[in-house]
Structure 1
Amino acid sequence: MAKDGWHRLREEDAVTIARRLPVRFDLSVEASLPVSGPVSLTRVAHQVRQDMWRRLQGLRGFSPAVRVTQGDGRLTLRAGGSVEGALPGKACDALSELLDSPTHRARWLAHAARREHG
């Protein structure tokens, strides 16, 4: 585990961050975002994770996980995680709202944009 307490699983065009292994998505919502340039998948994943935690921190037994995959000029986000106990339907609604938020999407991509140095 990394010193910040998050597992980072890297693949060629994807990154998954999770508090616990193995990664479970008892709660899961997906969204797709267009991207026009290079972005840090890890930065996007952490931004989504932070905002998801703010929305769902009252969900008992919740352990967040986010997977970001890049391909064909798009990012596919899978956000959710494991839940010990009952899963309220409002959790999926809140998470869908977050992933569809134009304000959040713009902030995630701006934060994750790779900048040229020189």
Structure 2
Amino acid sequence: MGWHIADHEGVLTLSRQPGARMDFAVEQRLPTVRSRRRLAHQIRQDMWRALRALRGFSPVVRVHPDPAGIRVEAGGQVAARPFPKARCEAILRDLLSDPQHQARWMRHA
């Protein structure tokens, strides 16, 4: 099963299916990268590892242009209800702000 990648007006969206919704999301600003697609895949992989126990989770990553670099919006769609939204956001906030993860993403993107 592949990934759906859309690039609309400079915003790259990576999701499992077209039209995926974001039931929860966090944002992080990052420096400009060579490949927004590679960055999105790297973040998606780490999000999946961090939230794989969340039943019905389907990751979504959006990469927006930003005057100072790029703005990443990461989160996803959750089929199971209810789900611990605040806890999921906290996990993603920690992941996206982690300097070691950011350095690896920048190397690969």
Aligned equivalents of 1:82 and 1:26: distance in 2? 5
Spell out structure 1 runs of 4+ moving beyond 6 A.
none
Aligned equivalents of 2:57 and 2:41: distance in 1? 16
User: Which ranges of structure 2 fall in alignment gaps of 5 or more residues?
Assistant: none
Tell me the residue number matched to 1:115.
none
1:106 is paired with a residue of what secondary structure? helix
- Alignment of 1:86 with 2:89, yes or no, is no
User: Which ranges of structure 1 fall in alignment gaps of 5 or more residues?
Assistant: 113-118
Deviation string for 1:28-64 (max 9, x for gaps)? 11111123xx510000000000000000000011111
Could you tell me the TM-score, scaled by structure 2's length?
Answer: 0.90
Deviation string for 1:8-27 (max 9, x for gaps)? 00134221110022120001
Could you tell me the TM-score, scaled by structure 1's length?
Answer: 0.84
Query: Whose Rg is larger?
Result: 1
- Alignment of 1:9 with 2:31, yes or no, is no
Aligned equivalents of 2:5 and 2:31: distance in 1? 23
The one-letter code matched in structure 2 to 1:29 is V
